[in-house]
Chain A
Amino acid sequence: MNNTVAALADIVQNKEIAPNIYHMKIKALDIAKKAVPGQFLHIRCGKTLSPLLRRPISIADTDEKTGCVEIIYRVVGEGTRLLSQTLTGHKLDVIGPLGNGFPLPEKDAHCIIVAGGIGTAPIIYLAKKIASEPKNKNSVTTVLGFTTKSEVFGEGYLKFPGVETIIATDDGSYGYKGFPTDILERLLQEHMGKTDPIIYSCGPKPMLIKVKEIAASKNIRAYLSLEEHMACGVGACLGCSVKSSRKGYKKVCKDGPVFEAGEVELC
């Protein structure tokens, strides 16, 4: 069976949920059925030759019953600007699900999920997935960091049993003042002596570097979702490399985007 699907999916929603942040839902049953948290879609944002390449966007949720796949994206350039202007009822040219997702905990695990800014998108899917198996008795704490109050989003999507959410803003205008990694350190302190937690993280590189450092110093397992500029998105062009901790490079699109922190060099 094919693992990756190319689809012209119906857009069923595309709305602004915070300044320049959009939440889109498309109907793509085959993708919804196969996807796991941490995987992404490779999206053709326009119809002309510029921008030429597809844009990678994480899957923020799926619904196998309705066949919906959701993404949350920030408008940063031409591709995402065109995406924000596509209308409900139109088609979206997507391929996916791509890449390796977050390895899920087995049972009785304490998961601390640290996200920065738009990195919140895949984290919603991950938290929901872990919490959707209550018999496994995993607990989830998500820590979301934003620069300021007006940028905050995602809190509403994470309101389900078994998930606790903590928000931090760099300027303290909402939730805790500081970086999400400050909160991570505090949570680990409080958690001392109990079973080792698992850390998951997605967000800007400086944040991931800090998460990796903290996890290494306390010898805790951590999974990081990385970003790199992509062309093919499927492992064919070798364009999206990240330095491996051992030898050579790994492909973010195919070997990742989720890596165990010790596998890769973040420089």
Chain B
Amino acid sequence: MKHDVDLSVNIAGINMKNPVMVASGTFGFGREYSDFYDINKLGALVTKGLTFMPKNGNPPPRVHETPAGMLNSVGLENPGVQGFIEEEWPHLSELAIPVIANIDGDTVEDYHKTAKKLSSLEGLAALEVNISCPNVEKGGLAFGQEPESAFEVIKAVREATRLPIIAKLSPNVTHIQKIAEAAVSAGADAISLINTLLGMAIDIDTQQPIFSRKFAGLSGPAVKPVALRMVWEVCEAVDVPVIGMGGITTWQDAVEFILAGASAVAIGTANFVNPTAPLEIIEGIKAYLDMKGRNLQDLIGAARG
């Protein structure tokens, strides 16, 4: 008899029918990939990073390929929270899946204001607080590098909203567990990681860095082992659910993250390579669990012994 696999998972009150979400900044506001499949099949959707005021982003070039990966220096181009509410929320609110707004800021105050404004949206599932963007001058990454500043940002967001808070951590730190602990003690309901790894590339013809901001964020299959190790470490340190990401390209990659302790995974760069990657990953996890005669819950952290 075929076993009816239960893929559902609840993360801090966000009910997902499967554990596969799409990562912030790789899926726009959900319009583009609707051409390829019904995005209501995803576990959840995370928006591009939003700031209080609109942001133009960095001058080109913004992307550069590396072995099994890519560097990006988009610089948080976004319509601002008001623009998002007017232009994107109307169609996003019609989706049947949880929509999570990713937020960023130059100051603690910015995060607070953005969170407050978004809290008025009926149906928004959660806020993912990006304290890890490497591509902007102020804020972003800087907040995610010290436990104290991570605490401050998450606390300010906590005071602004009753929505579940997911703190998105940067891998560009020495002690990831300390940052995760600080975020949780400030009120984060879940942790997601990793954002991109700081990297760079130099053009040997012009003998200049490729990117105007010199450093950029590395993502894609190349970062997967680092991401997996950090997810493992964070799962050890905190009791809240963890969303794992970084280089997930196949269902096997996703299963590794879940075995390491992640309750859900997010697909980023793989969308660019294979637009239907998230669907194939959902199907793959399902077939794997079917074969093992297990449910998703049995798999989470199973490698930890």
Contacts and interface: CB of A to CB of B under 8 A. Distances in A.
Nearest to A78: B65
A24 interface: no
A4 B36 contact: yes
Nearest to B73: A239
B63 to A, nearest CB: 4
A248 B56 contact: yes
Contact of A238 (B64, B74, B271, B274): B74
Nearest to A252: B60
Contact of B272 (A6, A49, A231, A247): A231
Interface in B20-71: 25-28, 31-33, 35-36, 48, 54, 56-57, 59-65, 67-70
A6 B276 contact: yes
What is the predominant secondary structure among interface residues of chain B facing chain A? Answer: loop
Contacts of B64: 229
Nearest to A230: B63
B33 A234 contact: yes
A95 interface: yes
Interface in A235-267: 235-243, 247-249, 254
A84 to B, nearest CB: 18
A239 B72 contact: yes
B19 interface: no
B60 A242 contact: yes
A6 B275 contact: yes
A51 interface: yes
A166 interface: no
B22 to A, nearest CB: 9
A105 B97 CA distance: 44
Contacts of A229: 60-65
A240 B61 CA distance: 7
B204 interface: no
A239 B63 contact: yes
B273 interface: yes
B57 A231 contact: no
B161 interface: no
B233 interface: no
A171 to B, nearest CB: 23
Contacts of B269: 52, 231
Interface in A139-158: none
A50 B271 contact: no
A231 B72 contact: yes
B18 interface: no
A241 B48 CA distance: 16
A232 interface: yes
A2 interface: yes
A44 interface: yes
Given A2-B35, A6-B276, A238-B74, A231 B63 contact: yes
A247 B56 contact: yes
Contacts of A240: 60, 62-63
Given A44-B273, A53-B272, A249 B57 contact: yes
B221 interface: yes
A52 B77 contact: no
B272 A3 contact: no
B32 A234 contact: yes
B269 to A, nearest CB: 8
B195 interface: no
Interface of A: 2-4, 6, 44, 49-54, 95, 228-243, 247-249, 254
Given A231-B72, A242-B60, 16 more contacts: A2-B36, A44-B273, A44-B274, A49-B221, A50-B67, A228-B61, A229-B62, A229-B63, A232-B32, A234-B33, A234-B275, A238-B25, A239-B62, A239-B63, A239-B72, A239-B74
10 contacts: A3-B35, A44-B273, A52-B68, A52-B269, A231-B63, A235-B32, A236-B271, A237-B25, A248-B56, A248-B57
